[in-house]
Amino acid sequence: MTILTLVQAILLAINALLVYYYLKATREIAQRNREQVAETHLLVKTTQEQLSVSQEQIRISLQESEAQIRPALTLDKGPDALSGASVARHLAFVQNVGNGPALDLRLDVLGATQPVNWSAHISDARFVAWDGVCIEKGVNRNRAPLTLPEHVFGNRLALTYKSLSGKGYGTIIFVDNAGLFHNVELVQN
């Protein structure tokens, strides 16, 4: 029986060695997995930072592109503004002093504190709309005359329009009772 006990002891020792090497290998694999996960997290973080930088560059590029095509409309009374004639009081000229054409012009009479209504319906009687009209950059004021309705005087006037990209812009002007323009403000949607 001693030989049998000796063989059992040897087999038990070999089994213990195998379990030890298995545990050691499992720990090494687990350690390598933890290191790989840490490296993956670092790569993901670096990728997110690169993505953030790329998004910022795209945003800046879009702003620069929009600035190159942004219209800026203003109203001008023209040479007859000081004549005092009723026609001169009601007549204004739309002029584009921006960098690109202005599309889909709309004229809206605003109260003293009323904000621009960017989504107003053109069928509203307060609005004058030129859907599809394009005022080119630097257009001669005599090419885009506008007759101001009586209810404009003493109110703010919002001239809204879009750039080629479809972004909405507006020019808000106070029209006094003499038909002169004051406090010009450019806004965007």
Query: pLDDT (tens digit, 9 = 90+) per residue, 67-111?
Result: 898 988 888 776 555 555 555 667 777 888 888 888 888 888 887
**Which residues have a Cβ under 8 Å from the Cβ of 151 and sit 6 or more positions away?**
109, 126
Query: Are 95 and 159 members of one domain?
Result: yes
pTM exceeds 0.75, yes or no: no
Range from 3-12, 61-70, 116-125 carrying the lowest mean pLDDT: 116-125
Highest mean pLDDT among 19-28, 65-74, 125-134, 171-180: 19-28
Q: Please give the C-alpha separations between residue 63 and each of 37, 70, 71, 87, 185, in angstroms, as whole numbers.
A: 39, 10, 14, 41, 20
Query: Are 177 and 147 members of one domain?
Result: yes
Looking at residue 59, its pLDDT comes to 94
Please tell me the distance from the alpha carbon of residue 55 to that of residue 45, in angstroms, as a whole number.
15
Query: Are 184 and 119 members of one domain?
Result: yes
Last residue of a domain, one of 68, 86, 110: 68
For residue 125, the enclosing domain spans 70-188
pLDDT at 39 > cutoff 80: yes
Q: How many domains does the chain have?
A: 2
Pull the structure tokens for residue 103: 């599309």
Please tell me the distance from the alpha carbon of residue 179 to that of residue 50, in angstroms, as a whole number.
55
pLDDT-based confidence at 126, cuts 50/70/90?
Answer: very low
The strand pairing partners of 106, in sequence order, are 129, 160
Query: Are 63 and 95 members of one domain?
Result: no
Query: Are 83 and 59 members of one domain?
Result: no
Query: Are 55 and 116 members of one domain?
Result: no
Looking at residue 189, its pLDDT comes to 81
CATH number (domain holding residue 87): 2.60.40
Query: Are 9 and 93 members of one domain?
Result: no
Query: Are 154 and 83 members of one domain?
Result: yes
Last residue of a domain, one of 68, 96, 125: 68
Query: Are 100 and 64 members of one domain?
Result: no
